[in-house]
Amino acid sequence: MSTYSYGGQALIEGVMMRGRDAIAVALRRPDGRIAWATERLDSGFHSSRWSRLPFVRGLVVLYETLVVGTRWLVRSAGVAAAEEGVELGRASIALMLGLTLAVGIGVFFLIPLLLASVTVGGAENGLIQHLVEGLIRVALFIGYLLLIAQANDVRRVFQYHGAEHMAIHALEHGDPLTPEAVRAYPSAHQRCGTEFLVVVIVLSILAFSLVGRQSPLVMIGSRILLVPVIAAVGYEILRWGARHRSNPLVHAIMLPGIWVQMITTRRPSDDMIEVAIVALEQALLADGQALPAGGGRIERQPLTLPGSAPAVVTAALADPAEADPGAADR
């Protein structure tokens, strides 16, 4: 059983797993084969001491997840379209992330403020405005998820999201990484990014109520400047909640995050579970970890990207105990 808490992200017809010092990706090609790749986490923040400090580590993880996740989301779309040569440069990735964050802050933080100010801004009790703002934010968030979940392509991404969670569940319970063992677990997980967003929304209601009713510029500025603070605190709450989920009170408090995952995760097919298993196994190998007994049986081949050399492992690992932990990064 791994002592490190692995996490992941669903991609287009694939899964990305984040390990201690590297990420691993597994993608289902249009011809049905599974291709994998690994990438070291070298953002410049990852290996520093302060990056592991409480309230700082969450921002580092969030930054790395956004940058690396966006890059692999684009790559996975290219592989799914049989266009492996598609590659975005750093400037394009930065522009895409900037626009995404700007839209996200505008839609989920500034628009609720505007609507609440217009509708109940004249109320004597400023707390009413903050509560209405929070309810609008929740409604926009849930409505957005329900809307995009109607698309077939997004529904498949949500299935891969479920497969990612189920594979991590199996690893954390010491079970073999096989489709039969993974299939027994739920598609929701207590460290899910969806649950993190739910925590952030709740924290935002509390934080913005402390700001109180100020001038419009101060209220808008507070919504923007407090986002990283709320994210850092939210990450620590998510970690704490995951460690103490057996406590009935903690379980009840964090339960809304599990409910929202009923939208963002779906039960995957066996071929999706296989992709999640390969991603997790390659993440373990990239971290120098041994694979759980019974795993390493799924056929796979390295994914060769522009400017990179092909990796060594080209099929199922015949004997996980003899697998070379460094092969995934050569």
Note the pLDDT tens digit of each residue in 39-88: 998 766 776 778 888 999 988 888 888 888 888 988 898 888 765 555 55
Q: Is the pLDDT of residue 278 over 90?
A: yes
How buried is 225 (Cβ within 10 angstroms: 0-12 exposed, 13-18 middle, 19+ buried)? exposed
- Name the band, by pLDDT with cuts 50, 70 and 90, for residue 161: very high
Rg over CA atoms, the chain: 21
Q: Is the pLDDT of residue 317 over 60?
A: no
Alpha helical stretches, state H, the chain = 57-80, 90-105, 111-120, 126-148, 152-172, 179-182, 193-211, 216-243, 248-264, 270-286
pLDDT digits 0-9 by tens, 87-145: 555 666 677 667 777 888 888 889 999 999 888 877 666 678 888 999 999 999 999 99
Question: pTM here?
Answer: 0.85
- Name the band, by pLDDT with cuts 50, 70 and 90, for residue 167: very high
